[in-house]
Structure 1
Amino acid sequence: MIVHFYIRYHTYFGQSLLLSGNHPLLGEDDLSRALPMTYLNEQFWHASIEVKSVDEPLRYKYILRTEDGLLTEEWGNDRVVDHESRPVGEIRLIDTWNFAGEYENVFYTLPFQQTLLLETKGASRKIKWPEEYTHEFRVKAPLLAKGEVLCLVGSTPGAGAWSTEDPMLGKRENNWWVFRLDLSGDTFPLAYKYGVYDIDKGVFVRFEGGDNRILFEASGHDKIKIMHDGFARLPNNTWRGAGVTIPVFSLRSEQSFGVGEFTDIALLVDWARTMGMKLIQLLPVNDTSATGTWVDSYPYAAISAFALHPIYLNVGKVAGKEHAGLLKNYKKKQKELNAQPELDYEAVLACKRTIARKVYERVGTSFEEHPDYQRYFEKNRHWLVPYAAFCTLRDVYGTTDFNRWKEHAHYNEAAIDRFVEPGQPQYVEVAFYYFLQYHLHLQLTEAVHYAHQQGIILKGDIPIGIYRYSCDAWLAPRLYTMTMQAGAPPDAFATRGQNWGFPTYNWQRMHADGYEWWKSRFEQMSHYFDAFRIDHILGFFRIWSIPMNAVEGILGRFVPALPVTADEFRDLSFQPSRYTKPYITEDVLWDMFGSNKDHFHEFLRPDGADGLYELRPEFSTQRLVERHFADVIASESTVFLRQGLYDLISNVILFEEEGSGGTKFHFRFGMDQTSSFRHLDEATRQVVYDLYLDYYFRRQDDFWAREALERLPALKRATNMLVCGEDLGLVPHCVPEVMRQLGILSLEVQRMPKVLGAEFFHPGQAPYLSVVTPSTHDMSTIRGWWEEDRARTQRFYNAMLGLPGEAPFFCEPDINRMIVDQHLNSPAMWSIFQLQDLLGSDGALRKENPQSERINIPANPKHYWRYRVHLTLEQLLSETAFNEALRASIHRAGRV
């Protein structure tokens, strides 16, 4: 059998198309062995293969190779040829490129196919195909209503002669609506269109939009022509949903233990379903227990990217009726902890671990005999075994800093396999962590299953980094650049930048093994979540990378980045040390510290002529300064001195690229605000500033786009979850286009507009493939923000809300409700709200102090993540007036 492949694709000079698939002639899915196609004309490329025998259906896809060699696969994995039931001599495939950014592709992701669109998937009926047929038509239509099917009507008798009375109805096969027609007696060209037919009412509903589709030639004897027509031209941006976001630790129920638990999610599902919501978004739920102190409350510093956090375990459910007596002595403590206005992380975790260990001591390792556990263990052993060993060693040595362990400081698989063998003295401890993770898995899985039954999906969160002293770093340090720290450049929320302390990714090593770690991570996440938010998606384009000798994020730079060269300063008398060393003079000290400047002289020494100073060697880096003041009793004056020295160290214009021999440099972010820059002469300032603008806002764009297009498609293909990107901050121009190409939903926040010079963003201007929200966990709530800047609030009141006169000092319930309604009425696919922002619309329910509802303060790296909702979920479910008002708002906005 000869199979001909024709793909409609308009290419440009230097571009070419390839064909990949599961057949040897198509490279067996190895893109490096894909079959080159032949250019036919401006519309079509062609390739053909001879298939002698087919052990399995022929699966294939098309790949674009750009002028610079970048390979871009079309989206999807559902092009299949399976005609062994009716052998023919030739098959001609006429295909349409599936662009990943098409709206409709979103509806073939996991959440829509398995939960959100389930009620519309049953509309079909048995279709009797003609025994002999010449043409097969395939097309997708994801948003048909209940009872609707796709039909085909065309200009020739075999295609119905444009009659809509009894059109040819399609049969659903996987993602496709399929039509098989015998057109052997018809004349060509054939004009046709797809339409919608209501099988319950027996009526034709409508034709698809656009011009007629045209089939120009017939299919001869012993031949079949298959038309892959892409998507039916029906409204594809009509589905809109609403959701709520809240960290699990912030939930409060009558039965929880001072912290939200996985078992509490069911109550949140009940409330969300009552509101007409379709999504619950959570912060990361991975184990962060590095120190056992409140510092571990930071949910983005997990000791494992795979393990769940024991703090979310419902210990009563683990104990069950058989061991319920173990909890009797803790009932009073549970009540006390649950009544706390905020999370007491240390007390809750310690208490839960004590109870869990008591239950474990009763049951021992007998749980390992259960078939369900054995299946769980085999499926997860690749991360579970190292994690349990890591936790056991953490407990032995009192630290997760594996560099300080006397044994197993460097991971060795064979040695760890011996360490975790049953019968070893420490096996009881190792198995305790198997026990915890298994029960956490059961409880979260049960919550997920319940959510799906109620038509609600769960959205998780993928942190951009890993904790430096995590099991992941111990297990495979080669995958990370351990000598650098990840963070973010300065912004309005953190004026000296952010230093998260995470190592950065070694993308070259990750690419070399096909991003196996990421694929495993996504697979693990898909056990519990239908969608996920990529934290700081900009990190896949470039990451803010900070040297280990720096404390503040301001001393970082983007990696990778194209440097400026010494030659670009050719119009200047360029002396690298003037730009790369902290510029310190008496005038600079006065500008920065005023009359307190003399306090800094003990940390300085003269640096040649011209009245210059340099920092003494023992204070030459921020880490050295930090170490010095760690041994000094903290006071207002010592804090002032320490910060002043940090600021002096960051008073530079350029960073020299390591190993460049003084020829390549990178600009310090915000260098135009430094004293070093201001003390240059005017002509030099202009040249330097022009280079600075070019460095940050022009030269990197294509380079960063290529970096992202090397990584994100491979990662996105590893999962069928719905992917959303947190694309906030200093967003390069290339980011929106790359996300559009890949069909990744953007995040649109009203007070963080992406248009240069705009102060606010109106939700009504959001793109369809986006999530709109008035605030995130890194910001103050609507009410908290309203009180922060009176002048800005006034401008928002007049411009965004369209209200005249003076804005109220406090965010009154009706103002809060107007902002919520703005987001509900947005054209964006999703509008998602912090629960606090929804409660802010009710004067009787909301907390008195809105500042206490903030979850995180990014400018404070030592922030305690401990916010809990002041209402129990049971109370929330019983608040009839509030619930009816919110449900009505969601319904009016047309969010299903």
Structure 2
Amino acid sequence: MKLYFNIEYHAKPGEKLELLIDEKDSANRSYMMFYADDLWKCEVDFFSKSMVYKYQLKDERGNVLREEFVQHHLNFSHNYKEFLIFDEWNNKNFPENYLNNKILRNKLSQFIPRKIAVLKKHTHVFRIEAPIYNPNWEIVLIGNTASLGNWSYENAIHLSQTDFGIWEASVDIPEIQLIQYKYAIFNQTEGKIIDIENGENRSTIPNLQKDVLQIVANHYFRFKSYQMYHDAGVAVPVFSLRTENSFGVGEFSDLKKLADWASKTSLGIIQVLPINDTTANYSWTDSYPYAAVSVYALHPQYISIESLYFSLPNELVEEYQAEKLALNSLDLIDYEKVISAKWKYLKTIFTIEKEKIYKDRNFKKFIKDNEEWLLPYSAFCVLRDKYKTPNFTEWKTHKKYIAGKISPFFSPKNKDYDASMLHVWVQFQLHKQLKDALDYIHRLGISLKGDLPIGIYRYSVEAWAEPDLFGMDFQAGAPPDQFTEIGQNWEFPTYNWEAMKADDYRWWKNRFKALEQYFDAMRIDHILGFFRIWRMPISATQGILGYFYPAVPVLFDEFKARHIPFDFERYCNPFINDEILWKYFGEETFKALEFINKNSNGNYQFKEQFNTQRKLVDYFKDKPEDISEKLTSLCANVLFLTEEKNGKTVYHPRFNAFKTESYQYLSDGERRSIYELYQDYFFKRQDYLWKQKAMEKLPVILNATDMLICGEDLGMIPDCIPEVMDELAIVALKVQRMPSGNIPFYNPKKAKYLNVVTASSHDSSTLRQWWKENPQVTQTYFNQQLNQQGKAPDDLEPYLAEIIMKQHLYNDAMLAIFPIQEFFAMDENLVNPKIDNERINNPAVFPHYWRYRMHINIENLTDNLEFNQNISNWIHESGRK
């Protein structure tokens, strides 16, 4: 077959378009295009019924300047030997393209593709991408020629949905004139066109060539806001769910009852926090859901003992019921008691039933399908329990992961076989229970949205099995923000992106594939990490001693160029003089002298055994913490942080360096020059690099999944991040009281379609708590954001919570998702009398005990008919159903 490609694209002088055809079993075929008649063109010989391809833009040197991230798909009729193809550049950031994901597929699960008949006399095939969520709608075509109905609604050409979201029609257009046309929505129930797409008329040329079929491939239907998918949802950690049947903590089976409530209120999305196994020490510190010991394994706390295929032995039933009653009566989760009790019952059942378990065909299949991660995970769990630590560097055996030495853990002859299989069986049961809950959720037309942590735990299976993929000598965190003045140190290793790139991001693709089993949408925690991460050396304990990585650092020559009298000791070590000592320690200054030495110039320096934050923290580990915090802060009184790069020392300004005591003791000229350098580093020089790094990895990773991807883009946001998120179809998060820019609050009415709007997050206080934190801020919010007169009430009244929710529902944002606590705030009979129990996490406190639990059973919430109906009415009225 002969294919003649044509695409309109405005390139600069020296730039050219290239066509890349995806060959499944070999390298892509490429064709340089030429420019003629205002179009880029090329001719291709092709020998298959279907084609997958994309375009990219190159400069004179052959460097790729821009490429499509969504491929084109075309099918060819064998009635023709030649095809004239008119394409459009396939931008992923059209709002319509966001709909072609798992959420919509699940809501339209009855979709059956239809074929189109392409007759020999036909001249044109019109093809449009239009994923529509209303099953009563279909796409039709009207145009200016007699064969297209002369713009008549009654004579519209009906298109067939040949693939999900792809509509096609084959038409004979004999007229010799410029063809103008538009697509429209036809309501099958009403039997008429209900609306025409936005924008100017589309156009194509007549086809004067016999035996040549002209394919007009359009991207995308120009939807109006009301025609696009909008939804509302509830955000609640699985561990926070409370039902009559749970066991002191939310379980996967409880998601069914949450879905029942969501259905009553017309909520279409359930959003949860990460659900991976975080079991490191079997203590409350394991409650942190962003520190998983495996990115694949599910957390055993979510298993329902009562939903297992095997029953508890009779002698344990009474004990189980008593523990269940006691744990369910608690206001908050007792993590240690819950996990201890569940493992006790799981081990007992497994020991009794293991012969039957080993013979289970489904269990065997689960092992075969997931062995790649199950083997290292189960071995890790056995060794963690054996040596009483997840820190594999402290194990007596298998400190270094060697696949050949780990494989015996799956051998029945191995002494650890039963212990390994216990963990595998628990994962099998968790998988079944979650899939069962997910099937139930989907049957109600509800979607499940997960949460992807940006980092991995330092002592996890992945860090043990594939350390080369991570920067184990560094820590990830976040710079200072409104939550904490000293920044955040998550203690996670950073990523070795070069190693990941070398195998086309296999690790990330596998991770998304695993999550895709359970989730329709995914919130990427701290999506900034794909652009750059806030990196600290192991020697630091506070995030304030971090710097951006990757980054364009400060070179030594820059100090010279700016006439800065660079002195390593003065700029890169803590600056301490007598005045600073007194400011930090006052009358306790004599205690600090144990840790510092006086220099000949009259200033001080830390003794070598105490000259890092980590050394200080380790020293004070088992001692009264009288001055440890002050010493640790003093350790951060530096102007620049150092990094070894390509054999040279480069420099990064410390965050808020101009607020340090060290800065205050510089000369006026030094302060001015260093401040200018600081501004250049943080706000000017990094954007291009970060965009380049994000565009290297994100398109490859995200194209490996059809989940709807949302990015948590809060914090210090450079200009390139919203730009890249928009281009790659990543839905951005908007939190009303965490605005970007110099405004007090974000107005959800200004939200664009590609946003998720919310009033709070799991990292913030709830609305009721926040209302009481700062009366001055609350008063401003009350008057300016809620448009209320007079003095703000001392407490967030239910009517105000209702106004806030409606502000987030009535806008163009694709999703409006609310923490479940904000639903309770709207009803005086549902509010938690213990307001401080409502907070999920406080980022300023590390480690934090994640133990929030709903104070009422979901069953009671589902039975609250008036409350549920009110919510349902608002969602329908706001066009979110």
Q: Could you state the TM-score of these two structures normalised by the residue count of structure 1?
A: 0.95
What CA deviation, in whole Å up to 9, does each residue of 1:287-314 have, x standing for no partner? Answer: 0011111110001110000000011000
SS in 2 for 1:533: strand
SS in 1 for 2:739: coil
Q: CA deviation at 1:236?
A: 4.8
Q: CA deviation at 1:158?
A: 2.9
Change (3 A) 1:437 1:72: farther
Is the contact made by 2:70 and 2:91 (CA closer than 8 Å) also made in structure 1? Answer: no
Q: Which moved more, 1:597-606 or 1:316-325?
A: 316-325
Is the contact made by 2:241 and 2:249 (CA closer than 8 Å) also made in structure 1? Answer: yes
Is the contact made by 2:486 and 2:543 (CA closer than 8 Å) also made in structure 1? Answer: yes
2:218 is matched with which residue? 229
Is the contact made by 2:312 and 2:345 (CA closer than 8 Å) also made in structure 1? Answer: no
Change (3 A) 1:67 1:339: farther
1:590 is matched with which residue? 582
Q: CA deviation at 1:66?
A: 6.2
Change (3 A) 1:598 1:844: same
1:739 is matched with which residue? 725
What CA deviation, in whole Å up to 9, does each residue of 1:793-817 have, x standing for no partner? Answer: 1111111111121111111111222
Counterpart of 1:35 (choices 27, 30, 37) is 30
Q: Distance in 1 between matches of 2:805 and 2:134?
A: 28
Change (3 A) 1:682 1:314: same
Q: Which amino acid in the other structure matches residue 92 of structure 2?
A: A
1:60 is matched with which residue? 53
Change (3 A) 1:272 1:209: same
2:565 is matched with which residue? 573
Q: Distance in 1 between matches of 2:189 and 2:874?
A: 31
After superposition, residues 826-865 of structure 1 pair within 5 angstroms as: 826-865=811-850
Q: Distance in 2 between matches of 1:768 and 1:608?
A: 63
1:107 is matched with which residue? 99
What CA deviation, in whole Å up to 9, does each residue of 1:50-107 have, x standing for no partner? Answer: 12x32x52222223346893464424345123323x2x23111111111111101111
Q: Which moved more, 1:322-331 or 1:293-302?
A: 322-331
Counterpart of 1:824 (choices 797, 806, 809) is 809
Q: Which amino acid in the other structure matches residue 616 of structure 2?
A: V
Aligned pair 1:801/2:793, yes or no?
A: no
Change (3 A) 1:23 1:553: closer
Q: Which moved more, 1:498-507 or 1:138-147?
A: 138-147
Change (3 A) 1:189 1:888: closer
Aligned pair 1:485/2:475, yes or no?
A: yes
Q: CA deviation at 1:204?
A: 3.2
After superposition, residues 305-324 of structure 1 pair within 5 angstroms as: 305-320=295-310
Q: Which moved more, 1:487-496 or 1:8-17?
A: 8-17
Q: Which moved more, 1:67-76 or 1:198-207?
A: 67-76
Aligned pair 1:866/2:851, yes or no?
A: yes
Q: Distance in 2 between matches of 1:272 and 1:736?
A: 31
Is the contact made by 2:50 and 2:75 (CA closer than 8 Å) also made in structure 1? Answer: yes
Q: Which amino acid in the other structure matches residue 159 of structure 2?
A: G
Q: CA deviation at 1:357?
A: 1.0
1:815 is matched with which residue? 800
Aligned pair 1:682/2:672, yes or no?
A: no
Is the contact made by 1:188 and 1:218 (CA closer than 8 Å) also made in structure 2? Answer: no
Q: Distance in 2 between matches of 1:882 and 1:196?
A: 36
Q: Distance in 2 between matches of 1:260 and 1:848?
A: 21
1:439 is matched with which residue? 429
Q: Which amino acid in the other structure matches residue 489 of structure 2?
A: N
Q: Distance in 1 between matches of 2:551 and 2:449?
A: 32
Q: Distance in 2 between matches of 1:334 and 1:449?
A: 27
Q: Distance in 1 between matches of 2:581 and 2:300?
A: 51
2:130 is matched with which residue? 141
Q: Distance in 2 between matches of 1:368 and 1:5?
A: 58
1:195 is matched with which residue? 184
Aligned pair 1:352/2:342, yes or no?
A: yes
Q: Which amino acid in the other structure matches residue 293 of structure 2?
A: I
Q: Which amino acid in the other structure matches residue 99 of structure 1?
A: N
Counterpart of 2:628 (choices 639, 642, 648) is 642
Aligned pair 1:164/2:153, yes or no?
A: yes
2:68 is matched with which residue? 74
Change (3 A) 1:67 1:713: farther
What CA deviation, in whole Å up to 9, does each residue of 1:589-638 have, x standing for no partner? Answer: 223333433331221111221x1110111110111111111131x2xxx3
SS in 1 for 2:419: helix
Change (3 A) 1:67 1:535: farther
Change (3 A) 1:204 1:127: farther
Change (3 A) 1:92 1:351: same
Q: CA deviation at 1:319?
A: 4.8
Q: Which amino acid in the other structure matches residue 76 of structure 2?
A: D
After superposition, residues 704-743 of structure 1 pair within 5 angstroms as: 704-743=690-729
Q: CA deviation at 1:335?
A: 0.7
What CA deviation, in whole Å up to 9, does each residue of 1:423-459 have, x standing for no partner? Answer: 2121111111111000000000001111111000000
What CA deviation, in whole Å up to 9, does each residue of 1:754-813 have, x standing for no partner? Answer: 12x212111111221111111111110000001111111111111111112111111111
Change (3 A) 1:650 1:138: same
Change (3 A) 1:701 1:71: same
Aligned pair 1:367/2:357, yes or no?
A: yes
Aligned pair 1:624/2:615, yes or no?
A: yes
1:614 is matched with which residue? 605
Q: Could you state the TM-score of these two structures normalised by the residue count of structure 2?
A: 0.96
Is the contact made by 1:127 and 1:169 (CA closer than 8 Å) also made in structure 2? Answer: no
What CA deviation, in whole Å up to 9, does each residue of 1:673-721 have, x standing for no partner? Answer: 1000011111211111011011000100111111111111111111000
1:602 is matched with which residue? 594
Change (3 A) 1:382 1:660: closer
SS in 1 for 2:836: helix
Q: Distance in 2 between matches of 1:380 and 1:13?
A: 52
Q: CA deviation at 1:270?
A: 0.4
After superposition, residues 684-699 of structure 1 pair within 5 angstroms as: 684-699=670-685
Q: CA deviation at 1:118?
A: 4.9
Q: CA deviation at 1:240?
A: 1.7
1:528 is matched with which residue? 518
Q: Structure 2: 5+ residue runs without aligned partners? A: none
Q: Structure 1: 5+ residue runs without aligned partners? A: none
Q: Which moved more, 1:642-651 or 1:214-223?
A: 214-223
Q: Which amino acid in the other structure matches residue 93 of structure 1?
A: I
What CA deviation, in whole Å up to 9, does each residue of 1:371-403 have, x standing for no partner? Answer: 332332222111011111111111221111111
Is the contact made by 2:748 and 2:811 (CA closer than 8 Å) also made in structure 1? Answer: yes
Q: CA deviation at 1:329?
A: 2.7
Q: Which amino acid in the other structure matches residue 351 of structure 1?
A: A
Aligned pair 1:2/2:2, yes or no?
A: yes
Q: Which amino acid in the other structure matches residue 77 of structure 2?
A: H
Q: Distance in 2 between matches of 1:766 and 1:308?
A: 35
Q: CA deviation at 1:834?
A: 0.5
Q: Distance in 1 between matches of 2:299 and 2:208?
A: 61
Change (3 A) 1:167 1:536: same
2:752 is matched with which residue? 767
Is the contact made by 1:487 and 1:545 (CA closer than 8 Å) also made in structure 2? Answer: yes
Query: Percent identity between the aligned chains?
Result: 39
What CA deviation, in whole Å up to 9, does each residue of 1:157-200 have, x standing for no partner? Answer: 333333332322111110311110123x3213222222232333
Q: Distance in 1 between matches of 2:510 and 2:879?
A: 37
Q: Distance in 2 between matches of 1:804 and 1:530?
A: 42
Is the contact made by 2:280 and 2:390 (CA closer than 8 Å) also made in structure 1? Answer: yes
Q: Distance in 2 between matches of 1:289 and 1:496?
A: 28
Q: Which amino acid in the other structure matches residue 62 of structure 1?
A: Y
Aligned pair 1:207/2:196, yes or no?
A: yes
Q: Distance in 1 between matches of 2:585 and 2:64?
A: 52
Is the contact made by 1:104 and 1:236 (CA closer than 8 Å) also made in structure 2? Answer: no
Aligned pair 1:19/2:10, yes or no?
A: no
